[in-house]
Amino acid sequence: MKHILPTTLLHIAFATFAALPFTVKSAEIKNDSVWKDDRGEEIMCQGGNLAKFGDTFYFYGWGDYPGDNRKDTITCYSSKDLATWKFERHVATYGKNGFNIIPDRLHVLFNEATRKYVMITKHRLPYRDPDIPDNPRTAGEIGFADCDTPTGDFVMRGHERPKSASAEWYAYGDLCAFKDTDGKAYVVSAGTGQKCFFVLQLTPDYMHYEKMLCKIPGNHEAPYMVRMNGKYWIFASGVAGWSSSKTSR
């Protein structure tokens, strides 16, 4: 995991799919514009993640609606061409199915062995949201939810705070989940005040962490990992909170 390149998350999401073997119908993807769904409403998918199951792309993220900072839903949209999007539904709602917070930086992977769609999340209170008992901001964890379908009601099964090989505890922040060609899954997470990245291997069912593989120093957040040309690449932004950061290499 030598390569860390600051960039924007959405660009990396598309770069991920560019490395996979599939074709997309010809369509114009318009940047620097407000994306709208089939209802004509703005797509609300803050901190979103793209996933492809079968011949359909799915876009999951916070339902951060104008004038409403509660972020109390996780929305799901679908598309065949990455340009036109259909609103599917809210796949998680605050206070239901174990979601005592609505996590962000969520990623959804399909597990062939269990036939479950697994949502892996940053289990930490959103910036500036009110405190919730037993969910301290300083103890970021990794959350795990699952569902039988990509657009059904996900159920939060638990959240964990992995330890290092030396049994040290760390706080986990922005993360991404990556599924390799052999079916194994990994999480790359910013930790310890965004002063490093951790690479964790998940259990075969993707519902727990199995072991920490390495710790990568550097001030970065919002990671994304891809595999291209025989190498694993980790992309990330600078540490700027809600503000923009420079793209550099």
Residue-level pLDDT at 26:
64
- Residue 166 CA to residue 243 CA, distance in Å, equals 35
Unique residue bearing structure tokens 């899954």: 185
Full pLDDT tens readout for the chain, 249 residues: 334 443 333 443 444 444 444 455 567 888 888 899 999 999 988 888 999 999 999 999 988 665 555 568 999 999 999 999 999 999 999 889 988 877 878 899 999 999 999 999 987 655 455 555 555 554 578 899 999 999 999 999 988 877 655 445 566 778 899 999 999 999 998 876 667 888 999 999 999 999 989 888 888 888 889 999 999 999 888 887 767 776 444
- Residue 150 CA to residue 118 CA, distance in Å, equals 9
CB 86 within 8 A of CB 37: yes
Residue-level pLDDT at 236:
86
CB atoms within 10 A of CB 56: 14
Beta strand 155-160 with 141-147 is antiparallel
Give the domains, in start order, of the chain with CATH numbers. 3-18+47-237 (2.115.10.20)
Residue-level pLDDT at 126:
52
Residue-level pLDDT at 158:
87
